[in-house]
Amino acid sequence: MKKIKNEILFFCLYFFVYIIHKTLRYKFVGREFVKDGPLLVASWHENSLLAITSLSQFKNFGVLTSISSDGELVAQVAKRFGLFSIRGSSSRGGLKALLEVGRALSSEKRIAFAVDGPKGPRREVKPGILFLSEKKRVPIVPMCARANRYFVLKKTWDKFCIPKPFSTVVVSFGASFIASKDIESESLRLKGCLEDL
C-alpha cells in the first residue's frame, strides 16, 4: 500500500512540474560550454527544479540526489524528465555516491550537482564536486536557471524557487574549469562563478 501511495505522490508531483514546465519559455546562454563527454554541472540547491527541467533538454545527463524522502522525490521527478540519478550526499552515503559519479564520468556521462545541498548552508560550496573534478580531470560548468517570476519557499533553508506559470527562464552556463588541489580557493572560485551568472 505504501508503495502505491508513493507512486501516486511521485506522479502527482511530476504532473505538477510538467504542467508548469510546458508553460515556460526557456532562453539558453552559454550553451556552447555544455560539451559532449564527461562533465560536472554545478548549481545552487534553490534552482533544483529548474535545473532538472532545463537539463532534460540535453542528452546523457544525471543528477546527484540525497538519500532522503526529499531526495527520492527529486530522483523520481528527474527520472520522468529523462535524467538518471545517483543517490548520496555529504552527510549520508557520500563515499558511495562519489564512487558512482566517478564511474558515470568514466562512461562519458554528465552529472549535475546542487553544490550547497542537501542541507546547506545556503550558497556554500561543498567539496565533492571539486574533488571529483581534480581527481578525474573533468571540467565543471557553473549553471544558473532563473525565472523572471517565481515563488520563494521562505521557510526552507535554501529559499527554494518555483517558477510561476508562463514565466521566462534564462538558463546561463559559465565557462568550464578543472579544479586544482586547493579545495578552499576553488570553492570560492566556483561560488564566485555561480554568483556572477
Q: Could you tell me whether strands 140-147 and 168-173 are parallel, antiparallel, or unpaired per DSSP bridges?
A: antiparallel
Cis peptide before 121 (omega within 30 of 0): yes
Looking at per-residue pLDDT, the higher value among 93 and 73 belongs to 73
* Sign of the C-alpha dihedral computed for residues 13, 95, 115 and 34 taken in this order: negative
Name every residue whose Cβ is closer than 8 Å to that of residue 153 and which is 6 or more positions away in sequence: 159, 160, 161, 162
Tens digit of pLDDT for each residue in 31-51? Answer: 999 999 999 999 999 999 999
Q: What is the pLDDT of residues 122-162, one digit of tens each?
A: 999 999 999 999 999 999 999 999 999 999 999 999 999 99
Q: How confident is the model at residue 187 (pLDDT cuts 50, 70, 90)?
A: very high
Cα–Cα distance measured from residue 157 to residue 151, given in angstroms and rounded to the nearest whole number: 15
> In this structure, what DSSP letter does residue 159 have?
-
Confidence of residue 92 (pLDDT cuts 50, 70, 90): low
Residue 93 pLDDT > 80, yes or no? no
DSSP state of 177: B
d(CA 194, CA 144) in angstroms, rounded, equals 7
Q: Distances in Å between the alpha carbon of 78 and those of 53, 81, 86, 87, 191?
A: 8, 5, 11, 12, 25
